[in-house]
Chains A and B, each alone.
Chain A
Amino acid sequence: MKQITISPITRLEGHGKIEIFLDAKGNVANAYLQVPELRGFEQFCVGRRAEDMPVIVSRICGVCPEAHHLAATKALDRLFAVEPPPAAKKIRELLYMSFYVTDHTTHFYALGGPDFIVGPDAPPAERNILGVVRKVGLDIGKQVIACRARNHHVIQMLGGRGIHLPAGLPGGWSKFVSEEERKEIEKIAVENVAFAQFTLQVFDSLVLKNTAYADLIMSDVYCHETYYMGTVDKNNKSNFYDGKIRVVDPTGREFLKFPAAEYFQHISERVESWSYLKFPFLKQVGWKGFTDGIESGVYCATPLSRLNVSDGLATPLAQAEFERFYSVFGRKRVKGRCQPVHHRLATHWARLIELLYAAEHMLELARDPEITSQDVRRIPTGVAGVGVGSVEAPRGTLIHHYEADARGILTKVNMVVGTTNNHAAMALSIKRAAEKLIHAGQVVEEGLLNRIEMAFRLYDPCLSCATHALPGSMPLIVNLRNGEGEVVRSFRRDG
């Protein structure tokens, strides 16, 4: 069957497709990353029992089912107006920290890190985790696999299953943590902290101490002065599981702080004729086009954003890295918070600081005496009718909004997924990368695909809040379109 060509085929047409629109002079007017559009999720859910949502939504996405599961479970707490016992919240958060460790680890070693560790101009075939292994050493591959395995084990222990978790319930969690499990999780968390520290050392020695890479991170190619969004606790420290959503302006001033339920009062979605994507923006600032600055409502919700909106991180080792991060960029503290870092490639570093925070916080929770409490569920007694729940998914603020009738049957379902928040911001970065290489219709082909790929990869976009990748390859396609929308050039790399 050799004649079957698998390599350029993806599960969904549109994966990784970049559209670049040129103006009449042949310069870049707009650019965006096209992601597959999936249909019918609301219709799929309406008419079902609300309490089924945590299980249903964990099937939406193969990359971050835990994030969807928890956002849904939190939405149900509200929908059924029931406050979970403290231990249940802590178990949810413990599971979530373990998930964050695997997710951020995987992104760094398999996707984001290779751009730097192997090199931004290395051939795509080498810019992968094997290239990292070649550069850093064989042991790192074993460590990544071991890190994933031990944290999957934790997720299975706490969540009842490795995938499609069944444990989240309105008002709590379906199982408590035994002392034996707690001890095992504590040991794993200790290993995670050491691994996160090691990973930051790798980043330090191979990226930050490499002048060429450090210059690339600091350059203006991927620098946009936008608003930033992230969730903070009552002390204004970053929190992935719970808190208020905070937005800061490009100077670092707090612009908004609101509970997830008010999200739709603050965010609108821009629709453009040339894309089926929706581009969320801040209502109070308004849509001023694909541009950055304090007058533009474009915002960003990523690991970098979460650091930018926070007064700090709640664990000591991560806090030290947080301070160092802002000091390297020469940012000062103003009114308790550091001035924002706008250099988007620094998102990779921010992600590793979050990795360390997640590992440390996992350890704190594993050592919390309350974590083994058997009081993990409050039984709901009524239906409030509306429930909004949010978490910080690794790739941005994730919000689930449900409405149900008096029987608890769903009448409305809406969600904003992490990647969606960043559609406009990603378009800015892709546009900027393209502008450097396209002038008056002349295209510098060398490096175009790599630079564009780096631009969207730093956001860790989930291109598939629905589908897994076909085992094999995903092509990167860049279409150049003229003012009439006709494709004038097309670039493609099949791996």
Chain B
Amino acid sequence: MPKAIVIGVGNPVIADDALGLVAARSVRDQCPGGVAVAEVFNGGLELMEAMAGYDRAFVVDAIVAGGRPGTIYRLGIDEVAATRNTSTTHNGSLSTAMELGRLSGVKLPSEVRFWAVEAGDVTTFREGLTPEAEAAIPVVAREIINELFPNQSLS
């Protein structure tokens, strides 16, 4: 069976920035049989490193794309990693990191999918999501669980 990992990206104490982490934990808690779950802070190299060794990676992250808070964008790696900008905060973009990983012989997943949820608040220190972001979590978690276990019906 292909090895899969669910990765939540975000900061646990910046309001909706934590939504990726919350979604990843929700998936973990609903999969008693176990699923690999990782929480990472950063895109770029850290995210690539977290995927290393897996065949499939499902990533959940907050996004500020101008949509209605709580909107779920389902994206493939090409859509997320379409640009190569040098100017991300500390170590470059995910696409650069993925290519570096491949060139360097890191085993990276053949399938990488993103659930990006429009955040309502990413500038306030607080624990807990906005209601709009919170509402998206069960939807994202359910979709990821369906990807992980397509033939099972988990309650």
A and B interact: yes
B136 to chain A, nearest CB (A): 16
B13, B49, B61 — most chain A CB neighbours (10 Å): B13
B62 contact from A2, A11, A111, Cβ within 8 A: A11
A466 to B43, CA, bound (A): 13
Contact status of A129 and B92, CB under 8 A, knowing A4-B65, A145-B100, A474-B87 = yes
**Size band of the interface chain A makes with B:** 35 or more
Check A474/B85 contact, CB under 8 A, given A44-B125, A106-B90, A468-B43.
yes
Residues in A whose Cβ lies below 8 Å from that of B75: 1, 4, 6
Residues of A with C-beta under 8 A to B37: none
Interface presence of A16 (CB below 8 A): yes
A12, A13, A144, A468 — which one has the most chain B CB atoms within 10 A of its CB?
A468
The answer to the question of B73 belonging to the interface, with a C-beta cut-off of 8 Å to chain A, is yes
A65 within 8 A of B: yes
The answer to whether B45 and A106 touch across the interface, beta carbons within 8 angstroms, is yes
Evaluate contact between A470 and B41: CB separation under 8 angstroms. Answer: no
- In the docked arrangement, what's the CA distance between A317 and B62, Å? 44
A471:B47 contact, CB within 8 angstroms: yes
Interface size class of B (residues with CB under 8 A): 35 or more
* Contact of A128 with B86 in the complex, beta carbons under 8 Å: yes
Do A62 and B104 have beta carbons less than 8 Å apart?
A: no
Interface string of B70-99 (1 = CB under 8 A from A): 000111000111111111111111111001
Nearest-CB residue, chain B, relative to A15: B89
Report yes or no: B85 in contact with A163, Cβ–Cβ below 8 A. Answer: no
- In Å, the complex CA distance between A39 and B17 comes to 13
Closest A residue to B73 using CB positions? A4
- Given contacts A4-B65, A110-B90, are A44 and B39 in contact (CB under 8 A)? no
CB distance from B51 to the nearest CB of A (A): 11
Cβ of B35 under 8 Å from chain A: no
Q: Are A59 and B12 in contact (CB under 8 A)?
A: yes
Q: Which of A15, A59, A145 contacts B106 (CB 8 A)?
A: A145
Judge whether A149 is part of the interface by a CB distance below 8 angstroms: yes
Over the window 1-33 of chain A, the binary record of Cβ atoms lying under 8 Å from chain B Cβ atoms (1 yes, 0 no) is: 110101101111101100000000000000000
Complex CA distance for A110 and B44, rounded to whole angstroms: 10
Residue pair B92, A163 in contact (C-beta under 8 Å): no
Q: In the complex where A138-B103, A469-B88 touch, is A39 in contact with B123 (Cβ < 8 A)? A: yes
- A330 sits at the interface (CB 8 A): no
Known: A38-B124, A467-B14, A472-B80. A495 touches B105 (CB 8 A): no
CB interface residues, B 100-135, toward A, < 8 Å: 100-101, 103-106, 114, 116, 122-126
Residues of A within 8 Å of B95, CB to CB, are 472
B105–A142 touching, CB < 8 Å: yes
Are B13 and A44 neighbours in the complex by a CB distance under 8 Å? yes
User: With a CB–CB cut-off of 8 A, which chain A residues contact B46?
Assistant: 62, 468
Q: How far is the CA of A476 from the CA of B83 in the complex (A)?
A: 13
Which 8 A/B pairs are nearest by Cβ-Cβ distance?
A495-B85, A62-B41, A471-B94, A473-B83, A44-B125, A473-B85, A471-B43, A469-B88
Binding site for B on A (CB under 8 A): 1-2, 4, 6-7, 9-13, 15-16, 36-41, 43-44, 56, 59-60, 62-63, 65, 106-107, 110-111, 114, 124-125, 127-130, 133, 138, 141-142, 144-145, 148-149, 152, 163-164, 453, 460, 462-464, 466-476, 494-495
